Amino acid sequence: MQHSENIGRIVGVGGNLVTVEFDLPVVQNEVAYVRLEEQGRHVGLKAEVIRVRGRYADVQVFEATHGLCVGDKVIFTGELLSVELGPGLLGQVFDGLQNPLDAIAAEHGFFLARGSYYRPLDAQRRWDFTPCTRPGERLRAGMPVGHVPEAIFRHAIMVPYGLKGWGTVVSLAEAGPCTIDDVVAVVLDEDRREHEIRLTQQWPVKIPVTAYAERLRPTQPMTTKIRIIDTYNPVALGGVYCIPGPFGAGKTVLQQITSRHADVDVVVVAACGERAGEVVETIRTFPELEDPRTGRSLMERTIIICNTSSMPVASREASVYTAVTMAEHYRQMGLKVLLLADSTSRWAQALREMSGRLEEIPGEEAFPAYLESVVAAFYERGGVVRLHTGETGSVTIGGTVSPAGGNFEEPVTQATLKVVGAFLGLSRARSDARRYPAIDPLGSWSHYDGVVDVAQVAAARQLLTQGFEVKQMMQVVGDEGTSLEDYLLYLKAEFLDAVYLQQDAYDPVDGATDADRQRRVFSLVSGILAMDFAMQDKDSAKRFFLSLTQTFLDFNRVPMDDPGFEQAERAIRTRCQEAARDA
């Protein structure tokens, strides 16, 4: 806790909202510590200024506030709510305030006393620093002066993001081991002020990192190896997308599969209010998962921000901003970063709770009237950027939404839909039918380009829609009241759904399909869908497609480099051509 001469006094306490009277100026998002005597020791509860009214400031306390009284002291630090950025973040599990949970558990057990805050990075660890510039060179904010090895990457040690204009390197450390607090360079700015550069830097979480040359339009697909995403509802590197769906429809599982197979360098998982059981499963699973890129633990290139539903509500808001700030930091190194926020609904619920305590005019369903702008500001921090070094980096943001009862018309889902570029809506009906992934192929959409030809996808989507309409009609009139032509449309749509839109997550081949295989297999499927199978009757048509579906599912489990792949592909094509000729 940092000391300050700006000391205020509590005049009101309502839950985790504390009203403070102050004498010296305070600013929005400033960090304050509420003084409290507990178990014979003086502690400070961390808080953030969220509203200033004349001589009074409303602060949200990130911990339980029982025991606070009117007249207790509040120390304003003069610093904004920030995170520490530097080597050692990868592989860590933090809470919403960037406390290192693994280190705390190892030292103090699983129960953290109120007012206990720990440095997120190990100050004793030594890193091998290698300079990449020289004294006299002019640099801008975000440009590297050197790097240290971190996992499979080179972690850039950059000019502080807050530097204005150009700076000149005055001194530079030689290559060798150093701690995160050692000064490795000194830069002189345009106002002739010196800035010491260490391996770490502080940055406010509510302010986007903009130390880049240009913001670019997301155009390159982010291959997730999930066919219904990459082909039907693609996500771009640097794009933003949402996964709304009812509870139990598979949002968390889909995020875990995406984080493992997506074509990205770094994964940041923000568990902002999810149930503790799901977060514990994530923390236990990730270290055991094998990274397909390196063959090592997936956790080595993952950061988990853990703020479960059993943790203080106020920290949920901090957790999403902590996560996106870390993601922007690694983007500044030219890396591709994927940020998964689970679940933004509970983040919005925290906003609603604080808005109610502030007695603000409520919007729809008591959410704050500014919900849309807050959601938009968060997702806008994703994107592709061109750095001052000429490299490009990206932050792709995927947020899950948990609407009550699966109602996509509720405010959080609607606010999210207005800013995202892809909508991957999960269906309760598909989930109950054990169709994985449970993404609704008809209700979902994307504005990004995928890995497969757009015309082929459009034709398949149209056939899928027609088949669904026939299926709805069949539920009323039965098979007997359906024409053979319509019945074939239904069978083709079911075939497409079964062999392409669904995947076997337990199979090492079918569970993750790369872009080349998707293009080749979808071309084969499109050719089959375009064939004219004028079967004699519905029974023969049904038998043919059931047999073909099973053959294709077996084909999906054959690796592309296996000699049996091309043989199976030719056999399927020949079989369908013969059926079309016979018809």
CATH number for 577: 1.10.1140.10
CA distances from 421 to 399, 454, 520 (A): 12, 17, 26
Say if residue 2's pLDDT is above 50. Answer: no
Residue at a domain's end among 200, 227, 243: 200
Task: Tell me the pLDDT band of 310, cut-offs 50, 70 and 90.
Answer: low
- Mean pLDDT, the chain, whole residue set: 92
**57 & 196 share domain:** no
Q: Which of residues 39 and 282 earns the better pLDDT score?
A: 282
Domain ranges, residue 152: 127-200
Say if CB 74 and CB 168 are below 8 A apart: no
Residue at a domain's end among 416, 446, 476: 446
| Among 361, 394, 175, 160, CA closest to 267 | 394
Task: Tell me the pLDDT band of 4, cut-offs 50, 70 and 90.
Answer: low
Q: Which of residues 297 and 185 earns the better pLDDT score?
A: 185
DSSP string, 304-341: EEEE-TTS-THHHHHHHHHHHHHHHHHHTTT-EEEEEE
Residue at a domain's end among 401, 424, 446: 446
| Burial class of residue 145 (count of CB atoms within 10 Å of its CB; 0-12, 13-18, 19+) | buried
Please give the structure tokens belonging to residue 394.
């990206």
Does the annotation list 247 as a binding residue?
yes
DSSP state at residue 236: B
Instruction: Give per-residue pLDDT as tens, 19-31.
Output: 999 999 999 999 9
Does the residue 98 lie in any domain?
no
Task: Tell me the pLDDT band of 1, cut-offs 50, 70 and 90.
Answer: very low
Does the annotation list 115 as a binding residue?
no
**377 & 469 share domain:** no
Say if residue 273's pLDDT is above 90. Answer: no
Residue 5 CB neighbours (<10 A): 9
CA distances from 194 to 141, 160, 171, 250 (A): 14, 12, 10, 52
Residue range 526-534: mean pLDDT, rounded: 91
The domain total for the chain is 4
Instruction: Give per-residue pLDDT as tens, 98-134.
Output: 999 888 888 877 777 788 889 999 999 999 999 999 9
**244 & 184 share domain:** no
Task: Tell me the pLDDT band of 309, cut-offs 50, 70 and 90.
Answer: low
What is the per-residue pLDDT for 75?
Answer: 95
- HSE, CB side, 13 Å, CA atoms: give it for residue 389: 18
**349 & 316 share domain:** yes
Say if CB 393 and CB 142 are below 8 A apart: no
**191 & 331 share domain:** no
What is the per-residue pLDDT for 41?
Answer: 76
**488 & 573 share domain:** yes
pLDDT-above-70 percentage for the chain: 97
Residue 360 CB neighbours (<10 A): 14
* H-run or E-run covering 129: strand 127-131
Say if residue 325's pLDDT is above 90. Answer: yes
CATH of residue 220: 3.40.50.300
Say if CB 425 and CB 445 are below 8 A apart: no
Instruction: Give per-residue pLDDT as tens, 67-104.
Output: 899 999 999 999 999 999 999 999 999 988 999 988 88
Instruction: Give per-residue pLDDT as tens, 404-424.
Output: 878 899 999 999 999 999 999
Terminal-residue alpha carbon distance, the chain: 80
Residue range 245-257: mean pLDDT, rounded: 85
Does the annotation list 249 as a binding residue?
yes
Say if residue 536's pLDDT is above 90. Answer: no
Does the annotation list 88 as a binding residue?
no
Does the residue 115 lie in any domain?
no
Q: Which of residues 38 and 511 earns the better pLDDT score?
A: 511
Pairing of strands 392-401, 240-244: parallel
Say if CB 32 and CB 49 are below 8 A apart: yes
Does the annotation list 416 as a binding residue?
no
CA distances from 516 to 39, 233, 238, 252 (A): 63, 17, 21, 27
Does the annotation list 314 as a binding residue?
no
What is the per-residue pLDDT for 404?
Answer: 81
Angular region, 275: left φ>0, alpha ψ -120 to 50, beta rest: beta
Pairing of strands 302-307, 266-272: parallel
